[in-house]
Amino acid sequence: MSATEKTTDDKRQLLRHTVATLAYRGGKAVSSVPDSFASFRLNETTRTPIQILTHVGDLFDWALSIAQGRETWNNAKLQSWDAEVERFFVVIKAFDDYLASDNELACSAENLFQGPIADALTHVGQINLLRRMAGGPIKGENYFVAEIESGRVGADQSQKRTEF
């Protein structure tokens, strides 16, 4: 393996760990929400949590299309909260599966990170903030010691947590 191939592989592995981190943190943000949370609106100009979650799904559809070299953007129609949570994990898994494959990335790992992945991290933070404002905050956690593993991107996240 050449030095360039190793660097590329290391970058893909870091992207995969980032995606697993997003699945872990995002899964915590979207689970056990109050009944009215999906439509909670801080004011008339803010997105609702379900609109944000749908957008995160759109971001990962976009990320996969970019990685495959066929960049396309689609605005998905809003579904139920449970359907959007399921979609969240499905689209993250599809993207992670591509990263785990031997298929070439049609762009740099850096661009994937700075575009759709960083945007998704921001939006998961927004969902957490809105949960607190809606009266359903998640518990804080020491994410440094969280059991996050590349490839674990579904709803089946570790329940061993150091929450406070």
pLDDT digits (tens, 9 = 90+) for 91-145: 999 999 999 999 999 999 999 999 999 999 999 999 999 999 999 999 999 999 9
The residue extents of the domains of the chain are 3-35+43-145
Pair 62, 31: CB distance under 8 Å: no
The CATH fold assigned to 3-35+43-145 is Four Helix Bundle (Hemerythrin (Met), subunit A) (1.20.120)
What does the pLDDT read at residue 93? 98
Q: What tens digit of pLDDT does each residue of 55-106 get?
A: 999 999 999 999 999 999 999 999 999 999 999 999 999 999 999 999 999 9
Tell me the C-alpha to C-alpha distance, in Å, between residue 110 and each of 11, 37, 117, 118: 8, 34, 10, 10
Residue 9 pLDDT greater than 80, yes or no: yes
- pLDDT-derived band at 1 (thresholds 50, 70, 90) equals low
If you count DSSP H runs as helices and E runs as strands, how many of each does the chain have, helices first?
5, 0
What does the radius of gyration of the chain's CA atoms come to, in whole angstroms?
A: 16
Residue 35 pLDDT greater than 90, yes or no: no
Pair 49, 130: CB distance under 8 Å: yes
